Structure 1
Amino acid sequence: MKTIGVLGAGVMGTGVAHALAESGHRVILNDVSEEQLRKARQNIRKNLRMYRLLQARSSGAPTGPDANDAETLGRIETTTELAPLRAADFIVENVTEKWEIKQELHARLDQLDMPPVPVAVNTSAIPMARFAALYSKPGRIVGMHFMNPVPLMPMIEVIRGEATAEDTLGAAKQLTTQMRRQCIVVKDSPGFVTNRVMMLTVNEAVFLLHEGVASAEDIDRLFQTCFNHRMGPLATADLIGVDTVLYSIEVLHREFKDDKYRPCPLFQQMVDQGLLGRKSGRGFYQYDV
């Protein structure tokens, strides 16, 4: 697999495109917005240098301009059209965690005149069965849950749906290997393993903040010092995106019909105010953008 189509140039799609290009793949990055595609290229250029500085700092090696950055960016083609995806050997979809948006996009993908290549859904919580039902060949669908920031994360949660074909699952594993990542295959269930556990933790932490039990800083510090977590649950929500976390918890609440997944009202208040975390400059914490 040499050419990978990446749908969505938000935080996750940009990270996936970055990681794929860095591992030598040609990437066709698609988004509905030319401006978003321009920002994606800017962010990849900035992150290539930032991640290299972080690696140099941890190893103690000197760092400077790297010619590989230009090569990595040169492997990424951007487009607002779906037609160029006909050249892809594999497609990864990363659009916003809203079923209506994903549903419409996947319905269009199924109608695209192209070979029936595997389509990986990068979703936090939506079951694969919903996507498979949109395809004339449902075996094409597999889940690949990338973690943020994608270029730095060594593990991918691969979700095998009931309809996922063996060759599709094999292609997802092969792509993981080509990206120099590990993967663990799990069965299809809302939230899978990682987010079914993590979203409950984040949601409960937000309830604690909402109720005034402790400050955001103290909640996160307790997790970092008591459990040796590198990042507390509220900082994690800011990294993922407060809106994405809210959408994910809403999916879990809807799918399981269990009030233990009821989103804290503070989530909606923050989304309404545009306090989305790192990507907006402010969430539970303040950031430079």
Structure 2
Amino acid sequence: MKNIAVIGAGTMGNGIAHVFAQNGFNVTLIDISAAALEKALATINRNLDRLVTKERITEADKAATLERLTTATDMNAGVSNADLVVEAATENVDLKLKIFQQLDAAAPASAILATNTSSISITKIAAVTERPTQVIGMHFMNPVPIMKLVEVIRGYATSDEVTTKIMALSKQLGKAPVEVNDYPGFVANRILMPMINEAIYTLFEGVAGVEEIDTVMKLGMAHPMGPLHLADFIGLDVCLSILRVLYDGFGNPKYAPCPLLVNMVMAGKKGIKSGEGFYSYGHGTKELIVSGSFK
């Protein structure tokens, strides 16, 4: 596999495109928004500059990476010669099903179709295609250029051959792939999201404040980031979507989203992406400007 198409130029999509291009693959980054593509290229350029500054890559490596990266606003044209398509659109099941129906019609018959979903059923996504054996999950972690893990999720019909190829490909990217089966939340979010939800309940019930909860988990459990800060980083809307997938998939009340989380998302407080969640952030940055800003 040499030609990779990435659908979606947001945080995950531009990170996935970056990693593939840096590791020698020809990448087409696709988004309906030209402005989103421009922003994504600027982000990739900045991230490559950081690697040059840290002497992890050379200026020549940076130039070669950018040379292997192209953009497109037409998905059909963008995937026409892809060996692998990685979808990294918004975590919305209806949107993903629509994209995969279109990809199935537009991508070469031999192409593998992967989704970066963090919780949505691979089997459900594969069922809208005529190639369910070639549909698989590649759940990268954020930030993609730094985090090593890739959850490789087998749908009900995903073939052994496709799974083997994606495991090997992930290693080519310098990642550590872990094969998991297709159940709600897979492994990472099935464990992580109930912890984040419990931290929100702990705040909601007045047990402790934002900074106190995060400090306990950082200093007591050796977590690099407290669960409420991490929720802001992931996106409170994304956390809510994943919890709803878990709740709907298992029918277990332990996965029910905390009412505080629901209200914050409805109020537009989505974390870093909106500038405010459990903390407040500088405009367009991930830098805290007010610690524990929750009211």
TM-score (norm 2): 0.90
Residue deviations 1:61-114 (CA, integer Å, cap 9, x gap):
x79983432322222111111222111111111111110111111111112252
The alignment status of 1:267 with 2:271, answered yes or no, reads no
2 CA distance for matches of 1:259 and 1:220?
A: 24
**Pairing 1:162–2:143 present:** no
Residue 44 of structure 2 is aligned to residue 81 of structure 1: no
Distance 2:107 2:62 in 1: 34
Aligned equivalents of 2:16, 2:124: Cα separation in 1 = 23
Aligned-pair identity (%): 42
Conserved in 2, the CA contact under 8 Å of 1:118 and 1:171?
no
What's the counterpart of residue 146 of structure 1? 140
Q: Secondary structure at the match of 2:268?
A: coil
- Cα drift, residue 39 of structure 1: 1.0
> 1:142 touches 1:160 (CA, 8 Å); kept in 2?
yes
Partners of 1:254 and 1:63 in 2: how far apart?
Answer: 44
Q: How does 1:78-227 map to 2 (within 5 A)?
A: 78-82=71-75, 83-112=77-106, 114-227=108-221
Q: Distance in 1 between matches of 2:179 and 2:266?
A: 36
Question: Which deviates the most, 204-213 or 222-231?
Answer: 204-213
CA distance in 1, matches of 2:56, 2:20: 23
Alpha-carbon separation, structure 2, partners of 1:22 and 1:216: 38
Are positions 1:17 and 2:17 aligned together? Answer: yes
Q: CA deviation at 1:26?
A: 1.3
CA distance in 2, matches of 1:48, 1:7: 21
**2:2 alignment counterpart:** 2
One-letter code of the match for 1:80?
T
Aligned to 1:59: none
Give the CA RMSD over aligned residues. Answer: 1.8
The 8 Å contact of residues 79 and 103 in structure 2, kept in 1 or not, is answered as no
Check 1:275–1:72 CA distance in 2 against 1; reply closer, same or farther (3 A cut): farther
Query: Distance between the aligned counterparts of 2:88 and 2:110, measured in 1?
Result: 19
Counterparts of 2:281 and 2:222 in 1: how far apart (Å)?
A: 23
Distance 1:187 1:48 in 2: 34
Report if aligned partners of 1:190, 1:255 keep a CA contact under 8 Å in 2: yes
Q: Secondary structure at the match of 1:245?
A: helix
Query: Any conservation in 1 of the 2:82–2:107 contact (CA below 8 Å)?
Result: no
For structure 1, list consecutive stretches of 5 or more residues without a partner in the other structure: 57-61
Which residue among 53, 68, 81 is the counterpart of 2:61?
A: 68
- Larger displacement relative to structure 2 (275-284 or 37-46): 275-284
| Structure 1 counterpart of 2:26 | 26
Indicate conservation of the 8 Å contact 2:83/2:108, yes or no: no
Residue type at the aligned position of 1:271: V
Q: What is the distance in 1 between the residues matched to 2:83 and 2:57? A: 34
| Moved >4 Å (runs of 4+) | 62-65
Q: Deviations over 1:15-68 (max 9, x none)?
A: 111111111211111111111111111111122234555xx4xxxxx7998343
Unaligned regions of 5+ residues in structure 2, if any? 285-295
Give the direction of change, closer, same or farther, for the CA distance of 1:123–1:212 in structure 2 (3 Å limit): same
Partners of 1:204 and 1:48 lie apart in 2 by 37
Of 171-180 and 146-155, more deviation after overlay is shown by 171-180
Structure 1 range deviating more: 199-208 or 66-75? 66-75
Q: Aligned letter for 2:79? A: L
Q: Distance in 1 between matches of 2:15 and 2:113?
A: 18
Farther-moved stretch of structure 1 (268-277 vs 169-178)? 268-277
Kindly indicate whether structure 1 or structure 2 has the higher relative contact order, using CA contacts under 8 Å at least 6 residues apart. Answer: 1
Cα distance in 2 for residues equivalent to 1:78 and 1:103: 23
Partner SS state of residue 32, structure 1? coil
